[in-house]
Amino acid sequence: MTAAAATAPTPFAEHHLTEAERSSMLTERLRRCGLATVSGLPTRGTVLGFVHSVMRLNPHRDSDRDGLTTIHNTSLPHRAQLPGFAGFGNGELAPHTERSSIPRPPRLMLLVCLRPALEGGECGLIDGQAVFADLDAHHPEIAEELAVPRSAYFGDGGGHLAQVITRLGPDRASFRLRLDELVKFSPHLTPHLPVLRAVLDRHRTNMTLSVGEGYLLDNHRWLHSRGPFTGDRLMVRALGDPIPAMALRPGFVRAAARTGEQREPECS
């Protein structure tokens, strides 16, 4: 945990949306910050109702029949130790992009708490825009290596060859990363991983979710993680793409120092 994460009393309070604000402000928050926290979703039914108002669900291997994924400790250690199944244990999850091993990961990810852990299980959030700006300013050579096409292989035998930073024109980019057994980096990139890990840690903020609380994030910009926990922690997750009415542009705005463009307002 970083010092900032340890001392912040209400992480991401400025992103929080009340019931009345959701429909009018959600798109603006996602465009500007790529993140919004939500509350008032204490049941699977309320979560599903909210999900259908913001995204089109993407079914996948771990999703249930309603399209949501139940995240809890299955108490099957042999399964949790398999690559790609760590989320179904109670151990730590490293920062990652959801479904990074497919050609186009889902744009949105919603995680909501239905039952908190007895101890631990905090969520870590890292803004890829801040990481990219930090690297651009202090380690431009690493930023360049991270953007080399086909320099990282995400997944196992059926994964996807891509890069951590994808440039989307002169002023925008997207971010794809994981730091576990389901990624392999090129020999040119591997020596820079310690610095990358330090930058990620510098921009990580931890938050603890109570019943009905959660966050909706731009999966092409933000990474999230989980601390180890005890108890019967229960989360539900939704992965999908934004409804057309949101009209979210691809990626996020890069730092003004390198593009000459005016930056979007800070998320503060």
* Residue with token string 């890990």: 197
**Domain for residue 248, yes or no?**
no
- Report, as an integer, the average pLDDT of 58-66: 86
CA distance 173 to 6: 30
Please report, rounded to a whole number, the percentage of residues in the chain having pLDDT higher than 90.
69
CATH number of the domain to which 27 belongs: 3.60.130.10
In the predicted structure, residue 13 carries a pLDDT above the cut 80 = no
Q: What is the pLDDT of residue 202?
A: 96
φ/ψ region of 126 (left if φ > 0, alpha if ψ in -120 to 50, else beta) reads beta
Residue 16: CA count within 13 A, CB half-sphere: 12
In the predicted structure, residue 232 carries a pLDDT above the cut 80 = yes
Sequence-distant (6+) residues with CB within 8 A of 223 are: 95, 96, 97, 125, 126, 128, 175, 177, 200
CA distance 268 to 261: 19
SS in 3 state form for 4-58? HHHHCCCCCHHHCCCHHHHHHHHHHHHHHCCEEEECCCCCHHHHHHHHHHHEEEC
In the predicted structure, residue 267 carries a pLDDT above the cut 90 = no
Residue 25 — pLDDT band, cuts 50, 70, 90? Answer: confident
- Report, as an integer, the average pLDDT of 144-172: 93
Residue 82 — pLDDT band, cuts 50, 70, 90? Answer: low
**Domain for residue 133, yes or no?**
yes
Q: What is the pLDDT of residue 3?
A: 35
**Domain for residue 198, yes or no?**
yes
**Domain for residue 114, yes or no?**
yes
- Report, as an integer, the average pLDDT of 244-261: 73
> pTM of the full predicted structure?
0.85
- Report, as an integer, the average pLDDT of 145-171: 93
- Report, as an integer, the average pLDDT of 143-165: 93
In the predicted structure, residue 110 carries a pLDDT above the cut 90 = yes
In the predicted structure, residue 119 carries a pLDDT above the cut 50 = yes
5-9, 34-38, 145-149: which range is least confident on average? 5-9
CA distance 54 to 243: 6
In the predicted structure, residue 142 carries a pLDDT above the cut 90 = yes
Residue 260 — pLDDT band, cuts 50, 70, 90? Answer: very low
Q: What is the pLDDT of residue 12?
A: 53
**Domain for residue 255, yes or no?**
no
**Domain for residue 262, yes or no?**
no
**Domain for residue 64, yes or no?**
yes
Q: What is the pLDDT of residue 5?
A: 38
* pLDDT digit string, tens, across residues 160-215: 999 999 999 889 999 999 998 889 999 999 999 999 999 999 999 999 999 999 99
Q: What is the pLDDT of residue 24?
A: 62
Q: How many structural domains does the chain have? A: 1
- Tokens coding 35: 């993140």
Residue-number span of the structural domain to which 87 is assigned = 3-242
Q: What is the pLDDT of residue 22?
A: 63
The strand ranges marked E within the chain are 35-38, 55-57, 69-72, 93-96, 108-115, 119-120, 123-127, 152-154, 160-162, 165-167, 172-175, 183-185, 204-207, 214-218, 222-226, 229-230, 234-242, 252-253
Q: What is the pLDDT of residue 83?
A: 54
* pLDDT digit string, tens, across residues 84-104: 556 677 889 999 999 999 999
**Domain for residue 149, yes or no?**
yes
